[in-house]
């Protein structure tokens, strides 16, 4: 079944004007203001994952999907001179992994996740002739492009879906670490719920980690036990535990009204329970598209070094995945209407949760 995405259809039209901060490959100048790599026969890209791993069914996986698609579009092979990734098992792996990819002479190297900022800036300062891209954080180094998202806009739509579909009027949010990017998810989700049911309070819990499924499972257990019937998670690998808890309850009782809203990638398959599925929808963070766009720019000699590229509903940087029938058509139409208003600027979604 083709996926239905809320918001504008992705065009990914690259900017026509030259973007400041060109590639840093002019060895004579020794800085990042050279002509770039437009004269190369191929442009190689690679990424370093955070501790969630490349198959986290979430953030890293979406980035790797984009890198593979870029490779396929340009007839590149996995490995040196094409595209690749290195996986980090702990934070201490970030800088060494980045350095390994530099030594393998990849043209553009991505650091996936805000936790990579210090390592990216450390290696980028040492390796000024290499281009880096940092996802979910901002760096002003001339050989680092920053990729950000308006997570709050996609989360708002998830909140609308949850508020329209809840039967218990109890909704939960499970976050990973309490940092600005996850707080944007929380703020948007709470605002979306309030747009439909202003008096409904969302149960908010943070695991404090992105790679511990047992913490997500424990949080979900507490929520479902309290009567919550829909949980939106923005917890990376820890969110896998939210799915595990919901699936256990569905296996034990086929009539159990428990749902999960996935994050970053379409997590429909993660919610399969026999002939049932507990994934209501997923908030897509199109890291894959952002990765491809920055790679295309860099390959043309238009690397946006020192700049921030932000992706929201207007340019399909965020969206909701197809609900596969879990959400009825009238609710989908209402969500589409909210998406249109956000995209056109009629609704401005808050980035921060209001203090009580």
Residue-by-residue DSSP string for 267-306? -TGGGEETTEE-EEEEEEE-HHHHHHHHHHHHHTT---TT
User: Which segments in the chain show pLDDT lower than 50?
Assistant: 1-39
| Residue 15 maps to a domain | no
CATH number at residue 267: 3.40.50.2300
Q: What total number of domains does the chain contain?
A: 2
Q: Are residues 55 and 132 in the same domain?
A: yes
Supply the pLDDT for residue 40.
Answer: 53
Q: Are residues 193 and 248 in the same domain?
A: yes
Supply the pLDDT for residue 37.
Answer: 43
Supply the pLDDT for residue 41.
Answer: 66
Residue-by-residue DSSP string for 60-108? HHHHHHHHHHHHHHTT--BSTTSEEEE--SSGGGHHHHHHHHHHTT-SE
Owning domain of residue 121? 45-150+286-314
Q: Are residues 127 and 269 in the same domain?
A: no
Question: How is the chain split among helix, strand and coil, in percent rounded to 5?
Answer: 40, 20, 45
Closest CA to 216 of 247, 248, 245, 256: 245
SS3 144: strand
Q: Are residues 77 and 107 in the same domain?
A: yes
Q: Are residues 203 and 330 in the same domain?
A: yes
| Residue 84 maps to a domain | yes
Asked if residue 316 lies in contact with residue 150, where contact means CB atoms within 8 angstroms, the answer is no
Q: Are residues 321 and 183 in the same domain?
A: yes
| Residue 171 maps to a domain | yes
């Amino acid at each position: 079944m083709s996926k239905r995405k809320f918001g504008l259809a992705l065009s990914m039209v690259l900017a026509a004007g030259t973007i400041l901060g060109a590639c840093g490959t002019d060895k004579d100048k020794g800085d990042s203001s050279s002509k770039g790599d437009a004269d190369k026969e191929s442009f190689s890209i690679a990424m370093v994952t955070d501790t969630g791993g490349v198959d986290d069914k979430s953030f890293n996986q979406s980035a790797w999907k984009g890198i593979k698609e870029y490779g396929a579009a340009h007839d590149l092979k996995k490995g040196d001179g094409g595209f690749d990734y290195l996986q980090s098992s702990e934070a201490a792996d970030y800088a060494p992994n980045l350095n390994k990819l530099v030594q393998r002479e990849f043209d553009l190297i991505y650091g996936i996740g805000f936790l990579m900022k210090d390592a990216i800036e450390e290696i980028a300062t040492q390796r000024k002739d290499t281009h880096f891209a940092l996802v979910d954080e901002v760096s002003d180094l001339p050989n680092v492009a920053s990729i950000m998202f308006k997570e709050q806009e996609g989360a708002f739509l998830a909140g609308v879906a949850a508020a329209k579909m809840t039967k218990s009027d109890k909704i939960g949010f499970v976050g990973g670490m309490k940092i600005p990017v996850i707080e944007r998810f929380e703020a948007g989700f709470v605002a979306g719920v309030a747009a439909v049911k202003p008096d409904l309070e969302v149960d908010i819990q943070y695991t404090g980690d992105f790679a511990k499924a047992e913490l997500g499972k424990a949080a979900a257990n507490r929520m479902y036990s309290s009567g919550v019937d829909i949980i939106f998670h923005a917890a990376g690998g820890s969110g896998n535990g939210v799915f595990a808890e919901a699936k256990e309850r569905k296996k034990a009782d086929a009539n159990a009204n428990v749902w999960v809203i996935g994050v970053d990638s379409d997590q429909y398959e993660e919610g399969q329970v026999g002939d049932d599925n507990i994934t209501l929808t997923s908030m897509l963070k199109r890291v894959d598209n952002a990765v491809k766009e920055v790679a295309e720019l860099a390959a043309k000699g238009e690397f946006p070094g020192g700049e921030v590229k932000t992706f929201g509903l207007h340019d399909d940087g965020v969206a909701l995945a197809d609900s596969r029938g879990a959400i009825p058509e009238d609710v989908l139409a209402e969500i589409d209407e909210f998406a249109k208003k956000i995209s056109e600027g009629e609704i401005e979604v808050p980035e921060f949760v209001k203090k009580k």
